[in-house]
Structure 1
Amino acid sequence: MGQPAFQLVRRDIRAQYAGSGLGLVWALLEPLILATAFIFLRHSGMISIGDITLPYAVYAVTSLMVWQTCVDGINGGLNSITRMRPLLKTTQVSAGSVVWVVILTACFFHLFRLVVALGVALAFGIHDPVNLIAYGLLSFLAPFFGVAIGLLVAPFAELYRDLKILVSSALRPLLFVSGVIIPIPDQFSFLGVYNPIAVAISTARGALVDVGRVDYGLAGLWLAIMFIVFAIALFIFRRTLRIVL
Structure 2
Amino acid sequence: MIRETLSIFKNIFENRKLLVQFSFNDFKSKYAGSALGIVWAFITPLVTVLTYWFVFSHIRARGADEAYPFIVYLVTGLIPWFFFSDSLLSATNVFREYSYLVKKVVFNVQILPTSKILSSLYAHVVFIFIGFGITSLSGVFPTVKALQLLYYLFCLIIFLTAVTWLTASTQPFLPDIMQFINVAMQTIMWTLPVIWIPSENIARFLKINPLYYVIQGYRDSFTNGPWFWENWQYGLYFWGFTIILLLIGSGVFGRLKPHFSDVL
After TM superposition, the score normalised by the length of structure 1 is: 0.86
Q: Does 1:28 align with 2:42?
A: yes
Residue of structure 2 equivalent to 1:106: 120
* Shift of residue 166, structure 1, vs aligned partner: 0.6
Root mean square deviation, CA, Å: 2.6
Structure 1 counterpart of 2:224, one-letter code: V
**Contact 1:178 / 1:192 at 8 angstroms: preserved in 2?**
yes
Q: Does 1:222 align with 2:238?
A: yes
Structure 1 counterpart of 2:225, one-letter code: D
Give a deviation string over 1:32-59, Cα, whole Å, max 9, x none: 2222122222332368765453321111
**Contact 2:172 / 2:260 at 8 angstroms: preserved in 1?**
yes
Q: Measured at CA, do residues 147 and 27 of structure 1 come closer, stay the same or move farther in structure 2, by a change above 3 Å? A: farther
Give a deviation string over 1:43-79, Cα, whole Å, max 9, x none: 3236876545332111111110110111122113311
Residue of structure 2 equivalent to 1:161: 175
Q: SS of 1:42's equivalent?
A: helix
**Aligned residue among 174, 177, 184 for 1:170:** 184
Q: Measured at CA, do residues 42 and 160 of structure 1 come closer, stay the same or move farther in structure 2, by a change above 3 Å? A: closer
Q: Measured at CA, do residues 6 and 86 of structure 1 come closer, stay the same or move farther in structure 2, by a change above 3 Å? A: same
Q: Measured at CA, do residues 242 and 180 of structure 1 come closer, stay the same or move farther in structure 2, by a change above 3 Å? A: same
**Aligned residue among 207, 213, 224 for 1:209:** 224
Distance in 2 separating the partners of 1:21 and 1:192: 42
Q: Measured at CA, do residues 77 and 227 of structure 1 come closer, stay the same or move farther in structure 2, by a change above 3 Å? A: farther
Distance in 2 separating the partners of 1:146 and 1:21: 31
* Shift of residue 134, structure 1, vs aligned partner: 2.2
**Contact 1:63 / 1:181 at 8 angstroms: preserved in 2?**
yes
Distance in 2 separating the partners of 1:191 and 1:71: 22
Structure 1 counterpart of 2:35, one-letter code: G
After TM superposition, the score normalised by the length of structure 2 is: 0.81
Structure 2 unaligned regions, length at least 5:
1-13
* Shift of residue 205, structure 1, vs aligned partner: 0.7
Distance in 2 separating the partners of 1:27 and 1:40: 21
Q: Measured at CA, do residues 128 and 15 of structure 1 come closer, stay the same or move farther in structure 2, by a change above 3 Å? A: closer
Q: Measured at CA, do residues 12 and 239 of structure 1 come closer, stay the same or move farther in structure 2, by a change above 3 Å? A: farther
**Contact 2:162 / 2:249 at 8 angstroms: preserved in 1?**
yes
Structure 1 unaligned regions, length at least 5:
none
* Shift of residue 229, structure 1, vs aligned partner: 1.2
Instruction: Name the % identity.
Output: 20
Structure 2 counterpart of 1:8, one-letter code: F
**Contact 2:68 / 2:140 at 8 angstroms: preserved in 1?**
no
